[in-house]
C-alpha cells in the first residue's frame, strides 16, 4: 500500500508546478551586509565584500529582468539579515532558484578563480530538518509554494516535502555546474570548479540553491578586476547567463538571452 502511495506521489511530482509557471522567479542573495563585512578590500580602505556583492547582485537582477525573469533580492541596502531570515523570506516568496553571491579571500595571497557550491551530503539532513521547521513556521505554506496539489494526509505531506527537497538538491548540482561554466566565459582568472559545501545560507530551502564565489578579493590581479566596473559587469553577466541557461535547459523555460549578455573577449 505504501509503495502505491509513494508511486502516486512521484507521478504527481512529475507534474510539478516548476514546469507550469509562465513567469520564473529567482532569488539573489548579496552576501553579508551591515556589520557582517565579509572579506576586506586590501586596496581601498573602508570597502568590503558586502559592498561589491550588492553591486554585482543588482547588475545580475537587471540582466535577468531584461530576459523577463522576476527577481527578489535578500537585501537592497547595506543592512544585516540573518541566514535564517534570508532563507525563510525566500521560501515565503516562492522563488524558483536561490543564488547567493560572495567573494572569496585567502590567508596566504595566491589562490584565485571563481567557484560554485551546492549543499554537501553531510549537511543534507540538517537542511531537511530546517525545511520541516520552516514549513511549520509558515503553517504549511512552504509546501504550497513548492507544490500546487492539495494533500490531506499529514504523512503524505511530509513525504512530498522530503521529495521536493531532494529534487531541489539534485537540481542545485546542475545549477552550480551551468553557472560555473558560464562564468568561465566572463572571468580571465580561471575556475576552481564546482564543489559541495556546508553553507548555512543554502540549508532549509525547497528550491535549487547555490553559493557563487566570484573570485578572490585579496589576489593582486583578480581583486582589482572584481572591484572594477568592467569586472563587476563581466561577472554579473556570467551569473545571469548561467541562470538563464539553467532555466532554459533544465526547466524548459521559453527565454531568450538578451544581446547585451553576449560574451566579450576576455584577455
CATH code of the domain covering residue 48: 3.40.630.40
Task: List pLDDT tens digits, range 178-205.
Answer: 999 999 999 999 999 999 999 999 999 9
- What's the confidence (pLDDT) of residue 239? 98
**Nearest CA-CA partner of 52 in 178, 194, 223, 238:** 223
**Residue 29: inside a domain:** yes
Q: Residue 101 sits in which domain range?
A: 24-252
- What's the confidence (pLDDT) of residue 204? 92
Q: Please report, for residues 35, 47, 194, 204, 223, the alpha-carbon distance to residue 40 in angstroms, rounded to integers and kept in the order given.
A: 12, 7, 24, 29, 11
First to last CA, the chain: 61
Stretches in the chain below the pLDDT threshold 70: 1-22, 147-150, 152, 263-267
Q: Are 127 and 204 in contact (CB under 8 A)?
A: yes
The structural domain count of the chain equals 1
**Residue 7: inside a domain:** no
**Nearest CA-CA partner of 118 in 199, 192, 181, 58:** 199
Long-range contacts of 39-46 (CB under 8 A, 24+ apart): 39/103, 39/104, 39/105, 39/217, 39/218, 40/105, 40/217, 40/218, 41/217, 41/223, 41/227, 42/217, 42/218, 42/223, 43/223, 43/224, 43/227, 44/227
Q: Are 185 and 6 in contact (CB under 8 A)?
A: no
Q: What is the largest CA-CA distance in the chain?
A: 65
User: Which residues are within 8 A (CB) of 85 and not within 5 positions of it... i.e. 6 or more apart?
Assistant: none
- What's the confidence (pLDDT) of residue 12? 54
- What's the confidence (pLDDT) of residue 14? 47
**Residue 263: inside a domain:** no
- What's the confidence (pLDDT) of residue 148? 62
Q: Please report, for residues 20, 26, 68, 74, the alpha-carbon distance to residue 86 in angstroms, rounded to integers and kept in the order given.
A: 26, 13, 24, 6
- What's the confidence (pLDDT) of residue 161? 82
- What's the confidence (pLDDT) of residue 154? 74
**Residue 152: inside a domain:** yes
- What's the confidence (pLDDT) of residue 15? 46
Task: List pLDDT tens digits, range 94-134.
Answer: 999 999 999 999 988 899 999 999 999 889 899 999 988 88
- What's the confidence (pLDDT) of residue 78? 97
Cα–Cα distance between 87 and 91 in angstroms, integer? 6
- What's the confidence (pLDDT) of residue 267? 45
Q: In degrees, to the nearest 5, what angle opens at C-alpha 123 toward C-alphas 109 and 88? A: 95
**Residue 137: inside a domain:** yes
**Residue 98: inside a domain:** yes
Q: For strand 209-216 and strand 114-119, is the pairing parallel, antiparallel, or unpaired?
A: antiparallel
**Residue 267: inside a domain:** no
Cα–Cα distance between 147 and 18 in angstroms, integer? 9
**Residue 183: inside a domain:** yes
Q: Is 38 left (phi over 0), alpha (psi -120 to 50) or beta?
A: left
Amino acid at each position: 500500500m505504501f509503495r502505491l502511495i509513494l508511486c502516486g506521489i512521484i507521478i504527481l511530482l512529475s507534474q510539478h508546478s516548476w514546469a507550469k509557471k509562465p513567469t520564473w522567479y529567482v532569488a539573489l542573495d548579496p552576501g553579508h551586509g551591515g556589520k557582517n563585512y565579509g572579506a576586506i578590500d586590501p586596496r581601498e580602505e573602508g570597502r568590503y565584500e558586502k559592498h561589491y556583492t550588492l553591486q554585482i547582485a543588482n547588475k545580475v537582477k537587471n540582466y535577468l529582468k531584461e530576459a523577463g525573469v522576476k527577481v527578489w533580492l535578500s537585501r537592497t541596502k547595506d543592512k544585516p539579515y540573518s541566514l535564517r531570515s534570508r532563507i525563510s523570506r525566500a521560501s515565503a516568496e516562492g522563488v524558483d532558484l536561490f543564488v547567493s553571491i560572495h567573494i572569496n579571500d585567502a590567508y596566504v595571497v595566491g589562490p584565485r578563480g571563481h567557484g560554485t557550491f551546492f549543499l554537501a551530503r553531510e549537511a543534507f539532513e540538517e537542511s531537511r530538518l530546517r525545511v520541516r521547521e520552516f514549513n511549520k513556521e509558515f503553517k504549511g505554506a512552504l509546501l504550497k509554494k513548492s507544490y500546487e496539489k492539495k494533500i490531506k494526509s499529514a504523512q503524505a505531506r511530509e513525504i512530498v516535502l522530503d521529495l521536493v527537497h531532494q529534487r531541489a538538491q539534485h537540481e542545485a548540482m546542475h545549477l552550480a555546474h551551468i553557472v560555473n561554466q558560464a562564468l568561465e566565459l566572463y572571468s580571465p582568472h580561471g575556475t576552481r570548479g564546482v564543489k559541495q559545501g556546508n553553507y548555512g545560507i543554502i540549508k532549509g530551502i525547497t528550491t535549487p540553491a547555490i553559493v557563487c564565489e566570484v573570485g578572490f578579493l585579496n589576489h593582486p590581479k583578480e581583486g582589482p578586476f572584481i572591484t572594477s566596473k568592467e569586472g563587476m559587469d563581466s561577472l554579473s553577466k556570467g551569473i545571469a547567463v548561467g541562470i538563464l541557461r539553467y532555466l532554459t535547459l533544465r526547466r524548459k523555460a521559453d527565454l531568450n538571452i538578451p544581446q547585451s549578455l553576449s560574451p566579450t573577449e576576455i584577455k
